[in-house]
A and B are shown apart, each in its own frame.
Chain A
Amino acid sequence: MSAQTATKVETATAVPRILGERAPKVTARNVDIYYGEKHAIKSLSVDIPDRAVSAFIGPSGCGKSTFLRSINRMNDTIPSCRVTGDIKVDNKDIYARDLDVVHLRARVGMVFQKPNPFPKSIYENVAYGPRIHGTASGKADMDDIVERSLRRASLWDEVKDRLNSPGTGLSGGQQQRLCIARAIAVNPEVILMDEPCSALDPIATARIEELIDELKQNYCIVIVTHSMQQAARVSQLTAFFHLGILVEVGDTDDIFTKPKDKRTQDYITGRFG
């Protein structure tokens, strides 16, 4: 089985260099995803490297979010959605019967397109995850986790004087960084980001990109984006999706300079969308 899939990947593209340097964190083999009758992802296989940023690009409706959400099983919340094939995180099948979804999601965090802070204080937003997982031992420890997470999300300086005011009162960019802080507070291994900057202005976007760049030291990050420049700036691996098919995946430099597939080339040069 593994020999077979390995050849399959090779026929599509050569193994990206980044995967030579970093172990794959997430591996998908022959994944199909359906919404009822609709076949949203068709026989997808990909390796996602640890401690690096991988970008999913592709025209709207091609299934980027669908695949992303299947990596932490957020698709479970959609009754009509069905996933077949293998998706493994650290070589463990995440769709296995005995897998604890709650535990998986604590390891594979997610940041959404629209900032969605809870209607609670800034502090409580960040403390939410540690509280439900019981990772903090006492108030001082919790304070520490909150501060550390906010610092990593480079939000600390802006909010340290108003930790008790509502998270919904922040600006859009700050809210998104709060959501990132909230996600890293549970110490995940993978962070999935679905168009995290699409609701933000260029300055806030630049800050988030900086943040992503820093976070990749410790985390496996997957980001969906519609901005070619963003993908080129922050990612090391780029995967191009089209109509539910993973058309091409490779080192970001290669994809943007010498794409192998005509469709990839057309897309990144803006000839179709």
Chain B
Amino acid sequence: MVLVYFGLMLLLSALAYYLGRGQASSLPRPLAALPTYHGARLALFAFFPMLGLFILWEAIVPRLLMSRAISSLPTDLQPADALSLSARTRELLAVVNGTPSADISETVRAAGQALASNLSMAGMILLVLGLAVAGAGVFWAKSQITQQLRARHTVEGTVNWLLIACSAIAILTTLGIVMSVVFETFQFFTKVSPVDFLFGTKWSPQTAIREDQVGSSGAFGFIPLFIGTLVVMIVAMCVAAPIGLFSAIYMAEYATPRVRAFAKPVLEILAGIPTVVYGFFAALTVAPLVRDIGRAAGFDVSSESALAAGIVMGVMITPFISSLADDVINAVPQAMRDGSYAMGATKSETVKKVVLPAALPGIVAAIMLAISKAIGETMIVVMAAGLAANLTLNPLNSVTTITVQIATMLVGDQEFDSAKTLSAFALGFVLFIFTLGLNIIALHIAKKYKEQYD
């Protein structure tokens, strides 16, 4: 029924479009707006009334019918509390959908069938009403079409509102997420003091379910996670920053168009590999390799190490840095290079002394963004760095990171008000502040850089 309704909505809009365009075309010229705008305007007058009606109707009518169906049940079947209400609702819905379980009572079944027929009746009414509002809208709007009508403004205004609505949704969602994280973080801080969290050096979030269990009080020191994140991030940047940057320089300055046409897409493929794939690559290939090489060289390397995770994460971020840096380097005006070549500078002198200094702020911004990406990355670290919250700066040890802990906190069945679960939100909040700060710095640098050539 919904499909039919939306199909009808689109069909009517299309019809209205042709109607409006046709009518406007037959008007004497010059028109205040092109006929296509009149068509679009009419389409809007079909579309939005129908959409509005649908939203309103769906918000009210099915619920109304459901509550009527429930109240029509005999007293012994009336739900007593919220739990049985939702059970009853589910039973009725199952009947409506034609999938009732066998043990359902006859009365409920009958009520469900009545509800089903009511609902389909309501659907029919909705269709008719929809047709009516669209017809009325189009009819009224069509009567307004004159030579002077500024249909362009109506369409323009609608587009404007649509765009505003979309960005509002995006902004509100972000706000909502941030608010909920902040709220849960405060909840967490009522259980664990912020000082213990921010400066504690021990992370073992296993709180006891029973009072008498050992280790009933978890430790929520955030420092080991922070250091772990830092170590992995530094290893990743040590891999990604030079490789990404140099490959960008090669792409932008040295590669022939043919090489570029081939190499750029390859780099982009690298960027398109899901992180999970990188993750098992890290866990199954790189981590054992790192361990074996390390052991052969006489180091004590654990089989899950920050080094392995960092290397793979670096590989993952490399195309990101190289593509951003490539853009930045390409944005350096050719006149700069010409000026340098004309003085008798070689290519590498030009790159080193003119192009890179000019592109430096943009490159720094790219690296900042890459760092915030590295910090937020989870899959690779989960798979390759381990879960042990060791407080160590040694990349050969296994470490754990903020994101990994968040993931493990929330995997599986959890009580939602334990300190353990809530700590995930606090970690998320700290992570968020981190990456936000990095992004702001990066944007700030990039903006400054933009002003340089104007």
Q: Does B257 contact A (CB under 8 A)?
A: yes
Among candidates B341, B344, B354, residue contacting A118 with C-beta atoms closer than 8 Å: B354
* Contact of A109 with B452 at beta-carbon distance under 8 Å, contacts A77-B338, A118-B336 already known: no
Q: How far is the CA of A132 from the CA of B340 in the complex (A)?
A: 10
Q: Within B155-207, which residues are at the interface with A (CB < 8 Å)?
A: none
Residues A119 and B452 in contact, CB atoms below 8 Å apart: yes
Binds A, one of B145-153, B209-217, B294-302, B345-353: B345-353
* Contact of A182 with B341 at beta-carbon distance under 8 Å, contacts A79-B257, A112-B335 already known: no
Residues A74 and B344 in contact, CB atoms below 8 Å apart: no
Residues B344 and A106 in contact, CB atoms below 8 Å apart: yes
- Of the listed residues B336, B337, B341, B452, the one surrounded by the most CB atoms of chain A closer than 10 A to its CB is B341
Q: Does A258 contact B (CB under 8 A)?
A: no
Which A residues touch B338, using CB under 8 A? 74, 77, 110, 112, 116
Among candidates A77, A116, A120, A183, residue contacting B357 with C-beta atoms closer than 8 Å: A120
* Contact of A72 with B342 at beta-carbon distance under 8 Å, contacts A116-B333, A119-B452 already known: yes
Q: Closest CB of chain B to A223's CB: distance in Å?
A: 15
- Mark contacts of A109-128 with chain B using CB atoms, 8 A cut-off: 1 yes-contact digit, 0 otherwise: 11010101111100000001
Q: Does A22 contact B (CB under 8 A)?
A: no
Which A residues touch B343, using CB under 8 A? 105-106, 109, 128-129, 132, 182-183, 186
Residues B341 and A105 in contact, CB atoms below 8 Å apart: yes
Which B residues touch A120, using CB under 8 A? 357
Q: How far is the CA of A183 from the CA of B340 in the complex (A)?
A: 10
Residues B342 and A183 in contact, CB atoms below 8 Å apart: yes
Q: Closest CB of chain A to B449's CB: distance in Å?
A: 10
Q: Closest CB of chain A to B331's CB: distance in Å?
A: 12
Which A residues touch B336, using CB under 8 A? 116, 118-119
What is the chain A residue whose CB lies nearest that of B349?
A: A132
Among candidates B342, B344, B349, B357, residue contacting A119 with C-beta atoms closer than 8 Å: B357
What is the chain B residue whose CB lies nearest that of A107?
A: B344
Which A residues touch B452, using CB under 8 A? 119, 168
What is the chain A residue whose CB lies nearest that of B335?
A: A116
- Of the listed residues A79, A102, A107, A119, the one surrounded by the most CB atoms of chain B closer than 10 A to its CB is A119
* Contact of A128 with B353 at beta-carbon distance under 8 Å, contacts A116-B339, A118-B339 already known: yes
Q: Does B368 contact A (CB under 8 A)?
A: no
Among candidates A79, A114, A116, A129, residue contacting B344 with C-beta atoms closer than 8 Å: A129
Q: Does A103 contact B (CB under 8 A)?
A: yes
- Mark contacts of B354-381 with chain A using CB atoms, 8 A cut-off: 1 yes-contact digit, 0 otherwise: 1001100000000000000000000000
Among candidates B335, B349, B354, residue contacting A114 with C-beta atoms closer than 8 Å: B335
Residues A118 and B340 in contact, CB atoms below 8 Å apart: yes
Q: Does A39 contact B (CB under 8 A)?
A: no
Residues A132 and B257 in contact, CB atoms below 8 Å apart: no
Q: Does A179 contact B (CB under 8 A)?
A: yes
Which A residues touch B333, using CB under 8 A? 116
Among candidates B335, B339, B344, B358, residue contacting A132 with C-beta atoms closer than 8 Å: B344
* Contact of A112 with B344 at beta-carbon distance under 8 Å, contacts A79-B257, A119-B452 already known: no
Q: How far is the CA of A120 from the CA of B355 in the complex (A)?
A: 11
- Mark contacts of A155-184 with chain B using CB atoms, 8 A cut-off: 1 yes-contact digit, 0 otherwise: 000000000000010000000000100110
* Contact of A128 with B340 at beta-carbon distance under 8 Å, contacts A102-B345, A118-B354, A118-B358 already known: yes
Which B residues touch A109, using CB under 8 A? 342-343
Q: Within A138-159, which residues are at the interface with B (CB < 8 Å)?
A: none
Q: How far is the CA of A119 from the CA of B349 in the complex (A)?
A: 15
Which B residues touch A105, using CB under 8 A? 341-344
Residues of A within 8 A of B (CB): 72, 74, 77, 79, 102-107, 109-110, 112, 114, 116-120, 128-129, 132-133, 168, 179, 182-183, 186
Report 24 cross-chain contacts, Cβ distance below 8 Å, ordered by A residue.
A74-B338, A77-B337, A77-B341, A79-B257, A102-B346, A104-B344, A106-B344, A109-B343, A110-B342, A112-B338, A112-B342, A116-B333, A118-B354, A119-B336, A119-B358, A128-B343, A129-B344, A129-B345, A132-B343, A132-B344, A132-B346, A168-B453, A183-B342, A183-B343
Q: A116-B338, A118-B354, A128-B340 are in contact. List 13 more A-B contacts (CB 8 A).
A: A74-B338, A77-B337, A102-B346, A105-B342, A107-B344, A109-B342, A112-B338, A112-B339, A114-B335, A116-B336, A118-B336, A119-B453, A132-B344
Residues of B within 8 A of A (CB): 256-257, 333, 335-346, 349, 353-354, 357-358, 452-453
